[in-house]
Amino acid sequence: MARSAHLPLSGRAEPVNTLATADAFRTIAELGGDLAFILDCASGLPIYISPNVNDMLGYCVLDVHEHLLTNKEGPLAPLCAGLQERLRRFAAGDGSRLRVVREYDILRPDGREVPVEVISTLLLDEAGRAQALAGLVRDQSARREREREQKHFASMLNHEFRTPLSTIDGAIQRLEATNTKADEPTRQRYRKIATATDRLIAMLDDYLSPERMAALGRQRQEKSVAPRLLLEELVAQARVAGRKVALEVDELPAQLRGEPAGLRLALKILLENALRYTPADAALTVLGRRRESGVELALRDAGTGVPPADLPRIFDKGYRGSNAAGLPGSGLGLYMARSVVEVHGGTLEHAAAPQGGAEFRLWLPVQDAPGKGLAS
């Protein structure tokens, strides 16, 4: 699109190459139902507005021009919101103002609000000065409806799971309180059931609570995380659990693209496995290092390691190793952790630790390097 910045802003089909760049690009932009626009930076008034503005926002092209000319604070103001400040900051060297993405609710003439995403970029002349603002307006109504349905579904799941768990929790508490003469193995079974129930209820609170769903809707989700911070948090969790742990970190990038909560969950699962399958006095090592075109975050333990016969299946859904007898768990942890990592374009692998024990290595691509791409 850089070449189109040097075309006549009227966009009239004079030579064939103008038609093939300006008008054709506008047509392509509108194929998906988006609203395309070009505003003159000097006046803030539209040079071009897609005819489908009426379908999306309920205004005709003349309405938009008249509105922006006379009412800078009205419902259509988001189309050029903060334009003069944006131009000032760009001229002062702030390159982040070249392309901006914002979300608004625009009020239609019929009183209905339309949630939109406005993506805009400055069009520059040969001297690098901003001449026009080109952008797309995308109707987010369908996305908002999907999010509403997802929250409703999560709330329903929360209720459906919580009801039987609460019943189990109450029953086991009554058994513990009334069956005071039970032998030690029976009391241990009661505690295992209670611990597993508490853990499931905590997971519901963490991932499927109405408050969590509401927060997801209100906040723009983070898309990056500091790898060193992830490792430091893991060390802190291990120390809270009473384990000796060492942190060995090489130079790491400041940020990685990714969903922080998902990556924290994957590392938490690795730590829970290490705590469960290694002696209480076994030391842990948390490692961070550059590897190939990405970053490797690893957790090493000094336990007995994974039985060789289990290695081909330890990441399988529902698989529990031969050394898991009598220990809590569902066989979903490593499967879930690998799934989260693979969504981020990474890998999760097991390796035998140099001094015995197990080492789980989580590899993630670095954004500025070639290699595996991140899923959107």
Q: Residue 17: is its pLDDT beyond 60?
A: no
User: What type of residue is 320?
Assistant: R
Q: What is the pLDDT of residue 376?
A: 34
309 phi and psi angles, rounded to 5 deg? -65, -20
Using alpha carbons only, what angle is made at residue 190 by residues 242 and 282, rounded to the nearest 5 degrees? 20
Q: Residue 143: is its pLDDT beyond 80?
A: yes
Q: Looking at per-residue confidence, does 4 or 196 come out higher?
A: 196
Homologous superfamily (CATH) for 3-139 = PAS domain (3.30.450.20)
**Distance of alpha carbon 355 from alpha carbon 184, whole angstroms:** 37
Q: Residue 296: is its pLDDT beyond 80?
A: yes
Encoded tokens for 62 = 């003349």
Q: Looking at per-residue confidence, does 69 or 118 come out higher?
A: 118
List of residues 6+ apart from 260 with CB closer than 8 A: 222, 224, 225, 230
134: closest CA among 8, 40, 259, 247?
A: 40
Q: What is the pLDDT of residue 323?
A: 64
Under a CB-based contact definition with an 8 Å cutoff, are residues 366 and 294 in contact?
yes
Q: What is the pLDDT of residue 5?
A: 36
Under a CB-based contact definition with an 8 Å cutoff, are residues 284 and 243 in contact?
yes
Under a CB-based contact definition with an 8 Å cutoff, are residues 193 and 171 in contact?
no
What does the pLDDT look like over 317-328, one tens digit per residue? Answer: 877 766 665 566
Strand 284-291, strand 245-249: pairing:
parallel
pTM tops 0.75: no
Q: What is the pLDDT of residue 22?
A: 61
Q: How confident is the model at residue 108 (pLDDT cuts 50, 70, 90)?
A: confident
Q: Residue 304: is its pLDDT beyond 60?
A: yes
Encoded tokens for 375 = 């899923």
Q: How confident is the model at residue 70 (pLDDT cuts 50, 70, 90)?
A: confident
Q: Residue 241: is its pLDDT beyond 90?
A: no
**Distance of alpha carbon 162 from alpha carbon 152, whole angstroms:** 15
Q: How confident is the model at residue 309 (pLDDT cuts 50, 70, 90)?
A: confident
Under a CB-based contact definition with an 8 Å cutoff, are residues 105 and 115 in contact?
yes
Q: What is the pLDDT of residue 14?
A: 40
Q: How confident is the model at residue 10 (pLDDT cuts 50, 70, 90)?
A: very low
What does the pLDDT look like over 35-61, one tens digit per residue? Answer: 888 888 888 888 888 888 888 888 888
**Distance of alpha carbon 19 from alpha carbon 172, whole angstroms:** 75
List of residues 6+ apart from 355 with CB closer than 8 A: 302
Q: What is the pLDDT of residue 15?
A: 40
Per-residue DSSP letters for 295-345? Answer: EEEEEEE-SS---GGGGGGTTSTT---TT-TTS---S-HHHHHHHHHHHTT
Using alpha carbons only, what angle is made at residue 77 by residues 103 and 3, rounded to the nearest 5 degrees? 75
Q: Residue 105: is its pLDDT beyond 80?
A: yes
Q: What is the pLDDT of residue 287?
A: 95
Q: What is the pLDDT of residue 366?
A: 85
User: What type of residue is 124?
Assistant: L
258: closest CA among 342, 192, 325?
A: 342
First vs last C-alpha separation in the chain: 23
What does the pLDDT look like over 247-285, one tens digit per residue? Answer: 999 989 988 888 888 899 899 999 988 888 888 888 899
Q: What is the pLDDT of residue 13?
A: 34
Q: What is the pLDDT of residue 209?
A: 64
Q: What is the CATH number of domain 224-365?
A: 3.30.565.10
Q: Looking at per-residue confidence, does 76 or 122 come out higher?
A: 122
Average pLDDT of the chain, as a whole number = 79
Q: Residue 18: is its pLDDT beyond 50?
A: no
Q: Looking at per-residue confidence, does 24 or 172 come out higher?
A: 172
